Structure 1
Amino acid sequence: GCSKGSCVIWDFETKGLAREFHDKDYSASITSVSWSKYGHRLLASATDKSLTLWDVLSGEKISRITLEKTPLHASLQPSCPTPSICLACPLSSAPLLVDLDTGSTRFLPVSVSENSNPSAHNPRNKFADGTPPFTPTAAIFDKHGDLIYVGNSKGEILIVDSKSIQVHAVIPIPGGAVVKDIVLSRDGRYLLTNSNDRVIRVYKNILPVKGSGEEIRNISSNSNDYESHYDKLKVNGASCLILSCELSDFITKTQWKTPCFSGNGQWIVGASANKGEHRLQIWDQAGPLVKILDGPKEAVIDLAWHPAEPTIATVSVTGLVYIWAKEHVENWSAFAPDFEELEENEEYVEREDEFDLNPREEEAEEVSIDEDADIDIETFEKNAMFSDVEDSVDEIVFLPAIPSPDVPDEQPVKCLESSSKLEDSSHSGSPSSMAAVQDGQAIPMASSPMEVNYSAAEDPAELPISKRVRRLSMKGLESLQFEKDKTPATKSKSNGKPAKSSALDDEATEDEEVNIET
């Protein structure tokens, strides 16, 4: 998402622009983008309080609605290929479910007290027990969209049914710090929270990945022997999430920003929230720190981990996107003929016929190949790294490029005008060339297209009215110059024979050429 209101999709392999979505009527900055589960749709939230849904293949806008508050984050429901329900987290309001087709909204509960209805929403953005207004609340769908995990400013995780909007469980966070971010791993088995106490907490999801909504309803219906409803919800929460580990920097006490899981869920990355610092820390899922990545002196706005490769993309405050990848070290070790790496030199004894050509074996191999078999070039090989590969039949695996029309350029018109002028000038006789002929200087044959065309004509009547100009050959010019350098021309002999000069003139006359002047 860009500050000018457009959404850009980059091809990660070619590093080229694949798609750009932009509404000409709106230019507000984009606050978040969200892909649908199968990649057919893209949701964008903007600072003008709008939510826009785009069709990725066609590039057309499907719908656009405007909320009452500015949404900081929005995500599509992952339950269907073409979702129309999204979860929006506004700046100063409770999270809400939005129907992009009808524009209807439903607010989610953000807190549960002992003497209040857990599903009630206070329109004044206050808790039911009278505490001050809450800060922006984080919320996210589970893997299949049956449940919604909500993190509030009281340091609690609420598990809400996405259909009935009812709270089924509450998980108190140690310390009770405000929850800023809540993220689910791709396989849906782990969940992390980022709190104001500078600690990232990782929880293991005990609920089944499929059918989690039905399972939590069964847990909620079986637990009725408790004094208060809040105690019941806390007991239900203990059957849903278990705290796995806590991640923090005990030395610098850094506030974290936009943490997320790796594609396989085994690594966790968090960015420093300090201004002027582009630092990432990577932890193992068990808790130990693995790597620290330092970049330019630019604050991090957002980051994302590649779903299948050890690659991270970060966005800086200057608008640049940085790609972090594993540094590949070339291996110059020795390898055996079967490409097995050798730690030390070994003596290899080859067979007597190892490198001999056996025509019979080659014929047998050729016969075993079925040349008439049809080759499938349309079926896409599924990636085993994706946890939802079993139901990813209709996902987008290729985004065809759409050629953009060329911008008309005025330069070709100018070139045509200049070429026409050159042609006109070439058709008109060159004064300099005619002057050279009159002065007795030699010029190349067929110095203009007109000379070539007219010399090729057989009928003199077809030629325009012209003036014949006699042009001497090189030999004649040399003889003429030689005669001029001599003393005054000698008189002819008494016997009536012509002089040498006349003979030279006759020889020059034989080499004369006709030059046509227009």
Structure 2
Amino acid sequence: MNLSLQDPFSVAKEFPETLTTTLDYGHSVCIQFSKQGDYLASGLSDGSLVIYDMLSHGVIAHITRDCHVRPITAITWSRCGRYILTSSQDWYVKLWDLSRIVGNEYGSPAPVIRSIKFDGPIWSASMHPENPYLFVASLFEDSPVSVDLSDASSPRVVRLRTRPLENEDREAESGEEEEEGGGRFRASKRRKVNEKHVTLVTTFSPEGEFIFAGTSKGWLNIFRTSDLKLVYSVKLANSNIKNISIPTNGRKLALNFSDRIIRQIDLPDIVNDSNAKEWEFEVDHKYQDVVNRLQWNSISFNHNADFLIASTHGQSSHDLYLWETSMGSLVKILEGSNEELIDVKWNYHRCKIGSIGLDSGSIYIWSVQFPQKWSALAPDFVEVEENIDYVEKEDEFDILDESELNKMRMEEEDVEVDVTTMELTDARGFEIVPDSFVIPIDYQKDLFD
């Protein structure tokens, strides 16, 4: 009933601005909302995984079986909401099937259905939007990889190149000259430079056709997912690319650099790479704090890229900065936490923002608070701010005869009401998916035993 009293059209708020909830269960280091916004996955510092229900903000699962043994570095949900991909500092990437978490005991099926170990810690890992068994990962001091886990016995691992496309072309042109004079010295020097050039972050495009990779030299490399060929490279700065954010509509791109500047780019039409040479990645807006010169820990778009949010780095900074992307202006500073915030994510469907406190590991949730409107229950319901003397109408309590009542009923029955056809979108334009995955819960089990 309380949901019926909330009128989402009573205030023109398109972004959360009030800290409403704090979730304290374990020391969280990484969070991610599900695609439908119903659940929140939290990776803890001990390597376990916690699932929250965003309607009640309660813990519905704490997965401790087959979990990581070191802090989780990245979490990605599948589009259907059934699978979760996690990467960790323990060198493992694991794929979880949430349909197997009931009981979470050794008598039940294992929640981890795929697992692969690399030769070092993983910076980040991102699942393909359509295929939960395909992911890309950036490794510590190593080349990024694309991994296909369809075959559990022999996963297919392909290493992606870090060198930009322009560098390879120049090396091919000057190869003969290097062999004739001092080839060994020059080649070894070039390899030494390339060893320092590493990929720090990787992610898929919204539909999964391309892979975006950011390097430590400020290069953005774009690979074609079908054959993992590098089709485009562009240098946007001389510093590390820390984060890449792409909204669900795929119209914009935000890059967080270590030079304290967030660069926003209007993405060209990248449906196919037939015109890759004509792509232009020009910086549309730059976001920075010119007064305090703050570093940014994490960035995130909302669903239609109208707003961009970032968490700040520093013990004295406890806020989230929110910009409007069309003009590049700062519209709000979200306050309320008493510690530095690290990972920040946007829940599109429920219009919520989540972030993590660095010291406590608590999860802070900012929401839009709608005032209760009793008039939403009935069109003729009138709200008054103070008691008034009601004057009844002349015919308000008149007794109607049977013929007039039948006439009124006939007029009401003439209106055709379609109760079988379901709406495809809600009031904000989100697609309504009735068959979204629901995590099974054992209500008889005490989670805190």
Global fold match (TM > 0.5): yes
More helix by share: 1
Aligned mates of 1:171, 1:360 — CA distance in 2: 79
The reply on whether 1:311 has 2:367 as its aligned counterpart is no
Describe how 1:71-220 pairs up with structure 2 within 5 A: 71-80=122-131, 83-100=132-149, 101=152, 102-112=154-164, 113=167, 114-116=169-171, 130-131=193-194, 133-173=196-236, 175-207=237-269, 212=271, 215-216=272-273, 218-220=274-276
**1:137 aligns to what SS in structure 2?**
strand
Describe how 1:407-426 pairs up with structure 2 within 5 A: none
> Gaps (5+ residues) in structure 1?
119-125, 221-234, 343-347, 410-518
Contact 1:276/1:297 (<8 A) preserved: no
Describe how 1:230-309 pairs up with structure 2 within 5 A: 235-238=277-280, 241-275=281-315, 277-286=317-326, 287-309=328-350
> Gaps (5+ residues) in structure 2?
1-42, 102-110, 174-188, 385-389
The one-letter code sitting in structure 2 at the alignment partner of 1:153 is S
Identity among equivalent positions (%) equals: 27
The reply on whether 1:64 has 2:115 as its aligned counterpart is yes
Summarize the Cα distance change of 1:260–1:340 in structure 2 as closer, same or farther, 3 Å threshold. farther
For these two proteins, the number of residue pairs brought into alignment is 366
**2:278 aligns to what SS in structure 1?**
helix
The reply on whether 1:9 has 2:72 as its aligned counterpart is no
Superposed CA deviations along residues 84-124 of structure 1, whole A, max 9, x for unmatched, are 11111222222211122332211222222032479xxxxxx
Q: CA deviation at 1:319?
A: 1.2
Q: CA deviation at 1:244?
A: 2.2
Comparing 101-110 with 160-169, greater Cα deviation is found at 101-110
Contact 2:268/2:279 (<8 A) preserved: no
The one-letter code sitting in structure 2 at the alignment partner of 1:38 is C
Comparing 298-307 with 361-370, greater Cα deviation is found at 361-370
Superposed CA deviations along residues 36-91 of structure 1, whole A, max 9, x for unmatched, are 111110111122111111112222221111111211211110124xx211111222
Q: CA deviation at 1:299?
A: 2.1
Contact 2:92/2:116 (<8 A) preserved: yes
The one-letter code sitting in structure 1 at the alignment partner of 2:306 is Q
Aligned mates of 2:68, 2:258 — CA distance in 1: 35
Aligned mates of 2:251, 2:404 — CA distance in 1: 53
Aligned mates of 2:225, 2:282 — CA distance in 1: 22
Summarize the Cα distance change of 1:364–1:58 in structure 2 as closer, same or farther, 3 Å threshold. farther
Contact 2:243/2:256 (<8 A) preserved: yes
Aligned mates of 1:307, 1:127 — CA distance in 2: 45
Instruction: Name the structure, 1 or 2, with higher relative contact order (CA <8 Å, separation 6+).
Output: 2
**2:197 aligns to what SS in structure 1?**
coil
The one-letter code sitting in structure 2 at the alignment partner of 1:99 is D
Superposed CA deviations along residues 159-184 of structure 1, whole A, max 9, x for unmatched, are 111122212122331x4332111111
Aligned mates of 2:351, 2:66 — CA distance in 1: 37
Aligned mates of 1:298, 1:252 — CA distance in 2: 17
**1:115 aligns to what SS in structure 2?**
helix
Summarize the Cα distance change of 1:15–1:351 in structure 2 as closer, same or farther, 3 Å threshold. same
Aligned to 2:186: none
Aligned mates of 1:260, 1:279 — CA distance in 2: 14
The one-letter code sitting in structure 2 at the alignment partner of 1:75 is S
Aligned mates of 1:350, 1:406 — CA distance in 2: 57
The reply on whether 1:19 has 2:61 as its aligned counterpart is yes
Aligned mates of 1:305, 1:33 — CA distance in 2: 14
Q: Of the two, which has the highest radius of gyration? A: 1
Q: CA deviation at 1:16?
A: 1.4
Q: CA deviation at 1:366?
A: 5.0
More strand by share: 2
Task: Please report the TM-score for the alignment, with normalisation by the length of structure 1.
Answer: 0.62
Residue in structure 1 matching 2:95, options 36, 53, 71: 53
Q: CA deviation at 1:313?
A: 0.8
Task: Please report the TM-score for the alignment, with normalisation by the length of structure 2.
Answer: 0.71
Contact 2:162/2:199 (<8 A) preserved: no
